[in-house]
Structure 1
Amino acid sequence: MTFEEINERLKKWADDRNIGEYSDKQIMKLFEEIGELSEAINKNMSEQEIDAVGDIQVVLIILCYQRGLDPIECLNNAYNVIKDRTGKTINGTFVKSEDLEG
């Protein structure tokens, strides 16, 4: 199944459950799922990690739908912002050049 097909199915799924309209509850759901991912990583639970990453993607796609955003456009935009970014990795985290100049 393509990303576009999954996106359309998630729109229908959200509409069928009356969550197609924006609510701050979707943001709270995102934080809940991020917490579950953190727990899965910290406890080295790979199956739960896979589930949590998928759940985060579902929540973000539905949030995009609620806000009138195209998730593919959002991802392309983010990539275009970072693709030529320079910097260095410090303690496992990439730090962009402009943040190193402070």
Structure 2
Amino acid sequence: MNKITTNLTIQELVPLIHQWAKERGIFDKSTPFDQLLKTHEEVGELIKACYNNDKPAIQDAIGDVMVTLINYCYMVEENVNHIIKHALTTTPDTKSPPVRLAIFSEMVLADLLRYECKQGFKLSHISPYSNTLYIIKNLISIALLESTTLEECLNIAYNEIKNRKGKIINRKFIKDEK
């Protein structure tokens, strides 16, 4: 894992993540559904890290989930900075264990996946804004329970990906092997 060289704010990181995704063709060659599939993969890693009580892996997974949610929000034209600000003003859940919060996030993510799939599903009650808000609130709670912050986790993730090269294959970013 790369050491954090700069501690940027979330508001500074969001446009850097957007630029990173644009430069790699993620916005042009994938869909919101593809971004949610990647989020699903990253939430799975978060569940495993929480279950194993592996703080570095939890921080990495929280940051990776945030990167994919930032990309998803960009693609569906939701203001992710507003969602994050809203999430930060709510009371975190410090009573539930981190693994439970991660599993709840996966359940909400499943609703978003069905919403974006739109193949025979009628989910008018699903909102990209409110579902993303719920997931980010859970990420904040997990971070707090692990004595870290959303901002620290996002910095870890950005520092890990910022120089990463790769290509889009089947609408998925595949990183180049070193």
TM-score, length basis structure 1: 0.71
Looking at structure 1, the residues matched to 84 and 26 of structure 2 have their Cα atoms a distance apart, in angstroms, of: 22
Structure 2 residue aligned with 1:47: 56
Higher Cα Rg: structure 1 or 2? 1
- Which letter maps to 1:62? N
Question: Shift in Å at residue 64 of structure 1?
Answer: 0.8
- Which letter maps to 1:53? I
Matched, 1:28 2:25: no
Deviations 1:8-42 (A, max 9, x none): 10110010111124611101011111100000011
Matched, 1:63 2:72: yes
Question: Shift in Å at residue 76 of structure 1?
Answer: 4.1
Q: Paired residues, what number?
A: 86
Question: Shift in Å at residue 44 of structure 1?
Answer: 1.5
Structure 1 residue aligned with 2:18: 11
Question: Shift in Å at residue 5 of structure 1?
Answer: 1.4
Looking at structure 1, the residues matched to 56 and 86 of structure 2 have their Cα atoms a distance apart, in angstroms, of: 30
Percentage of identical aligned residues: 29
Question: Shift in Å at residue 75 of structure 1?
Answer: 3.2
Looking at structure 2, the residues matched to 41 and 70 of structure 1 have their Cα atoms a distance apart, in angstroms, of: 28
> Which protein has greater RCO, CA pairs closer than 8 Å, 6+ apart?
2
Looking at structure 1, the residues matched to 47 and 40 of structure 2 have their Cα atoms a distance apart, in angstroms, of: 10
- Residue segments in structure 2 that go unaligned for 5+ positions in a row: 1-7, 98-178
Note the aligned Cα RMSD (angstroms).
2.4
- Residue segments in structure 1 that go unaligned for 5+ positions in a row: 84-88, 94-102
